[in-house]
Amino acid sequence: MEGVEIRGPLLDRFDEILTTEALDFVATLQREFNARRLELLDARQARQAELSAGATLGFLPETGNVRESEWRVAPPAPGLEDRRVEITGPVDRKMTINALNSGAKVWLADFEDANAPTWENTVSGQLNLRAALDREIDFETGGKTYALRPDEELATIVVRPRGWHLPEKHVLVDGEEVSASLLDFGLYFFHCAERQIAKGRGPYFYLPKMESHLEARLWNDVFVRAQELRGIPHGTIRATVLIETYPAAFEMEEILYELREHSAGLNAGRWDYLFSVIKKFRTRGREFLLPERNAVTMTAPFMRAYTELLVRTCHKRGAHAIGGMAAFIPSRRDPEVNKVALEKVRADKTRESGDGFDGSWVAHPDLVPICREVFDGVLGDRPNQLDRLREDVRVTAEDLLAVSKTPGEITEAGLRNNVDVALRYLAAWMGGLGAVAIHNLMEDAATAEISRSQIWQWIHNDIELADTGAVVTREHVEQIIGEELDKLAAEPGYDEKLFAEATALFKEVALDDDFAEFLTLPAYARLP
């Protein structure tokens, strides 16, 4: 392992993942591609500076030939033909078994927003995926044993590595922190690609947080090189890209084109998309001001434009279009809450299936039957609806930018909810949990990002709350933080140390004059 240094502890069985050969593979990818990754991150900053100075987003004139020419992505890969229900979650042992057994067609095995990237979570997640493919995984709790169903009943594994912006501080290559993207991808690909092929499937990925087709080009080049290094046929890898940043919505065709031999479609990552809308135009006043997050629905004009364009773009190019997350967590104690929420889930999935999506996401196994039933009603025995070209859809740049047409208010209740959710989530994240059930919703890093960025935006626009008339100031938010912490301190299981860390982090990313690009960067710096 020349030039590779492991700074994390070698816990039980970690040596099975952190082998010399696997780390040499990751190091090769790091040496060949990290410089381009850093250049692309610099390009993000340059683009942000232009937007903050008054520029706008639009479809790129220099790539018009890509949008106008005839081409298609690769046909669906084995295990990805039918994606009517996909379940998401972190890669701990219990979730690995429950997700694979859930009845969903696909499991998004998440090293990103649903995972707190502790060193233990990062490496043990890789162990769990390999163990699942070898059928050597089980889990016991409360006298109950969880084990895998037969292979033919299991969901297809699609791994989401961390985004291009994140480092992995526990692994150095030539003295430099390795790209977390390349580490997560590289370890899984090295250990599991051939295992997946032997099962008649393949190494499949979800790619997060990209902001341009050039970032997709980098991933494609990584795929080509990885397949070459491991002697795996070109095009075996398939990747679905989350369209979850504002700039990426204007480059959907170009992103598909760059990955076309490795493409498995696009996903409407709607929570991070809302965060990106705020982040990209945070200095532009009330033209890009959103109401409180629970008031922003998928029927808002700019969100309808985004999702309909995604379906049209995908089906035009023979790619799957996958809908957004149903985050509701059913309650065993409140059937009335369940009834109302499940009706909303059904309506959401009915809208998506009617719009032409080929499948959608859920966060909990209990939601799999509802999503499947809705998509069964549209698809029947067909694996997808790629034949629905949606040529009726006409979306302009102005439609995608029409944030100001979003109905809804900003209330003290909404402000308090943002504070409460962010504090609860960040305390859990600092404790090693990335997917957290809060008020019957599965919250992850994306919803925490929305919560803190909205507060930052409201403070900087002197927003008057609709229900109390109070102006959102830094001092007002600090008062509410104190009041919400007092409520949290009275709850069972309150951890004073974790909530102190969460509060300090939240104040940094929500109240400072400078806007942190991602809360996970300062949060990660606080992890051991």
Among 44, 238, 444, 452, the one annotated catalytic: 444
Please give the distance of CA 489 from its chain centroid, rounded to a whole number.
30
Buried/exposed code over 512-528 (b: 16+ C-beta within 10 A; e: otherwise): eeebbebbbeebbeebe
The position carrying tokens 């309506």 is 347
Instruction: Say how far apart CA 154 and CA 210 lie, in whole Å.
Output: 29
> Is residue 146 within a helix (H) or strand (E), and if so which, with residue range?
strand 144-147
Q: How distant, in Å, are the alpha carbons of 82, 130, 436 from that of 491? A: 44, 38, 16
User: How many CA within 13 A on the CB side of residue 125?
Assistant: 31
Q: 3-state DSSP helix/strand/coil percent for the chain, to nearest 5?
A: 50, 15, 35
CB of 511 within 8 A of CB of 478? yes
> Is residue 47 within a helix (H) or strand (E), and if so which, with residue range?
helix 20-52
Instruction: Say how far apart CA 315 and CA 497 lie, in whole Å.
Output: 50
Q: Which amino acid is at 193?
A: A
Instruction: Say how far apart CA 207 and CA 267 lie, in whole Å.
Output: 10
Q: How distant, in Å, are the alpha carbons of 78, 110, 523 from that of 426? A: 38, 18, 8
Give SS3 for 19.
coil
Instruction: Note if 260 is an active site residue.
Output: no
Instruction: Say how far apart CA 308 and CA 321 lie, in whole Å.
Output: 10
Neighbours of 59 (CB within 10 A): 17
Among 37, 44, 93, 160, the one annotated catalytic: 160
Instruction: Note if 387 is an active site residue.
Output: no
Instruction: Say how far apart CA 47 and CA 41 lie, in whole Å.
Output: 10
Give SS3 for 169.
strand
CB of 310 within 8 A of CB of 243? yes
Read off the tokens for 218.
């980098």
Instruction: Say how far apart CA 109 and CA 206 lie, in whole Å.
Output: 9
Name the pairing type of β-strands 204-207 and 138-141: unpaired
Give the residue numbers marked as catalytic. Answer: 160, 444
